[in-house]
């Protein structure tokens, strides 16, 4: 096939997505709902469909339906909320930094939250995992603040933010490794949380992340045009009347807050914020008004699949969702490195 034919085929494929974005977006949403329903029955004890339906209409007279409400439903809801938060955060970071390799787990936010949460768990071993939420949230914000301060030289350029973010991430990763070596007998709960898992989460965790998603995601969608303008470059964006530095700070704060809230309730689940925005751009193009909602749906799908695989591959043993996303995300990250390096 000639290069002209390849380009023409790609244009036909992307133009179809751009002509009918609502249909494709709706299809992704329907697929997510179907997977969510199936996910309510997957686990160490498989729940019959009849009991799932009974639980969803409010009948909890059977043990199986109570399992759905008490254990499975919070996990499925968290897959939605965490997937949306990480994916939208990654889309914003990639748009602001203008780097396809940018993501919450690449530029330090995830590692900062992980370090803070792990430090608290090791300091108070009897502490329940849900109690690390405030510490992890503060740790993520602190890591982002460090990145911005160290990258600021009469403005924080995208290149400096990316490079400093990688350095800060490495520093927090070293801190995590030090804590593991320093406290080898007290790391079981911390390791499970650090790997990224939705095991044992309740509706309390859902309520902790829900306000952040409900408030910040619509704000980011409203600001989608500003992301498109920033993508033109700082000089051209300034020439169009956009206050570049202020817009960059606000958008980065939105992205960091979303990522920190997600890590706080689910642990350090990696690569969702990297993969989902790429999938969205490949299907829906580079306009953020379409790619951000699409990235959110792809993030939900990735989280649902990872969580279901973790629960269903080797029951009653549960594989943390973070390990599943790492198995997929690691090779994809290497592919992006090779592709962007050409």
Question: Per-residue pLDDT tens for 166-186?
Answer: 899 999 989 988 888 887 666
Question: What pLDDT does 129 receive?
Answer: 64
Question: What pLDDT does 334 receive?
Answer: 78
Q: Residue 249, Cα to own-chain centre: how many angstroms?
A: 20
Q: What does the pLDDT average to over 4-14?
A: 40
Q: What does the pLDDT average to over 110-121?
A: 86
Q: Which long-range contacts (CB under 8 A, 24 or more apart) does 170-176 make?
A: 172/108, 172/111, 172/112, 172/114, 172/115, 172/143, 173/111, 175/115, 176/111, 176/114, 176/115, 176/118
Reply yes or no on whether the pLDDT at 8 is more than 70.
no
Q: What does the pLDDT average to over 302-327?
A: 87
- Tokens 């390791």 sit on residue: 191
Reply yes or no on whether the pLDDT at 5 is more than 60.
no
Burial class from Cβ neighbours inside 10 Å (0-12, 13-18, 19+) for residue 270 reads buried
CA distance 47 to 64: 6
- Residue 118 in any domain: the answer is yes
Q: What does the pLDDT average to over 196-216?
A: 90
Question: What pLDDT does 7 receive?
Answer: 32
Question: What pLDDT does 22 receive?
Answer: 82
- Residue 103 in any domain: the answer is yes
| 145 vs 339, more confident | 145
Question: What pLDDT does 31 receive?
Answer: 95
- Residue 155 in any domain: the answer is yes
Confidence of residue 187 (pLDDT cuts 50, 70, 90): low
45-100 pLDDT, tens digit each: 777 778 888 888 877 777 878 888 888 899 999 999 999 999 999 999 999 888 88
CATH number at residue 326: 1.10.3470.10
Q: What region does 128 belong to: left with phi over 0, alpha with psi -120 to 50, or beta?
A: beta
- Residue 63 in any domain: the answer is no
Q: What does the pLDDT average to over 141-160?
A: 84
Q: What does the pLDDT average to over 194-201?
A: 82
Question: What pLDDT does 74 receive?
Answer: 93
Q: What residues make up the domain containing 220?
A: 75-341
Q: What does the pLDDT average to over 292-301?
A: 96
Contacts of 236 (CB under 8 A, 6+ apart): none
- Tokens 């973070």 sit on residue: 322
Burial class from Cβ neighbours inside 10 Å (0-12, 13-18, 19+) for residue 259 reads buried
Q: Which long-range contacts (CB under 8 A, 24 or more apart) does 202-205 make?
A: 202/70, 202/74, 202/130, 203/73, 203/74, 203/77, 204/130, 205/74, 205/78, 205/130, 205/133, 205/265, 205/266
Q: With contact defined as beta carbons under 8 Å apart, do 270 and 300 qualify?
A: no
Question: What pLDDT does 295 receive?
Answer: 96
- Residue 272 in any domain: the answer is yes
263-279 pLDDT, tens digit each: 888 888 888 999 999 99
Reply yes or no on whether the pLDDT at 216 is more than 70.
yes
Question: What pLDDT does 330 receive?
Answer: 78
CA distance 243 to 53: 51
* Longest alpha-carbon distance in the chain: 65
Q: pLDDT averaged over the chain? A: 84
Share of the chain above pLDDT 70, in %: 89
- Residue 47 in any domain: the answer is no
For the record, the structure tokens of 93 come out as 């970071």
Number of domains forming the structure of the chain = 1
| 106 vs 337, more confident | 106
Q: What does the pLDDT average to over 29-49?
A: 86
Give this prediction's pTM.
0.86
- Residue 242 in any domain: the answer is yes
Share of the chain above pLDDT 90, in %: 31
For the record, the structure tokens of 155 come out as 């403005």
Q: What does the pLDDT average to over 225-239?
A: 88
- Residue 55 in any domain: the answer is no
């Amino acid at each position: 096939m000639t290069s002209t034919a390849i380009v023409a085929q790609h244009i036909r494929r992307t133009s179809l997505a751009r002509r009918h974005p609502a249909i494709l977006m709706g299809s992704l949403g329907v697929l997510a709902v179907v997977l969510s329903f199936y996910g309510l029955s997957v686990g160490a004890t498989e729940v019959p469909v009849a009991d799932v339906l009974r639980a969803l209409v409010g009948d909890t007279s059977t043990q199986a339906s109570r399992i759905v409400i008490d254990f499975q439903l919070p996990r499925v809801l968290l897959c939605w909320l965490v997937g949306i938060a990480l994916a939208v955060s990654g889309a914003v970071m990639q748009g602001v930094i203008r780097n396809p390799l940018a993501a919450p787990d690449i530029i330090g936010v995830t590692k900062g939250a992980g370090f803070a949460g792990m430090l608290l768990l090791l300091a108070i071993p009897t502490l329940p995992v849900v109690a690390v939420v405030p510490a992890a949230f503060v740790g993520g914000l602190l890591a982002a603040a460090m990145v911005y301060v160290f990258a600021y030289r009469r403005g924080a350029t995208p290149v400096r933010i990316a490079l400093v973010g990688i350095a800060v991430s490495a520093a927090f990763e070293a801190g995590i490794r030090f804590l593991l070596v320093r406290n080898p007998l007290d790391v079981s709960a911390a390791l499970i949380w650090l790997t990224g898992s939705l095991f044992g989460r309740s509706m309390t965790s859902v309520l902790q992340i829900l306000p952040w998603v409900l408030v910040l995601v619509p704000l980011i969608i409203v600001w989608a045009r500003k992301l498109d303008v920033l993508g033109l470059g700082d000089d051209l964006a300034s020439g169009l009347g956009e206050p570049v530095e202020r817009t960059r700070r606000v958008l980065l704060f939105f992205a960091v807050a979303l990522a920190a809230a997600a890590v706080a309730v689910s642990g350090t689940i990696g690569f969702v914020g990297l993969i989902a925005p790429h999938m969205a751009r490949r299907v829906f193009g580079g306009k953020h008004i379409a790619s951000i909602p699409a990235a959110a749906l792809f993030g939900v799908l990735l989280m649902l699949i990872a969580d279901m695989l973790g629960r269903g591959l080797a029951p009653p043993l549960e594989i943390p969702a973070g390990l599943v996303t790492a198995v997929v995300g690691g090779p994809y990250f290497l592919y992006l490195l090779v592709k962007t390096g050409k």
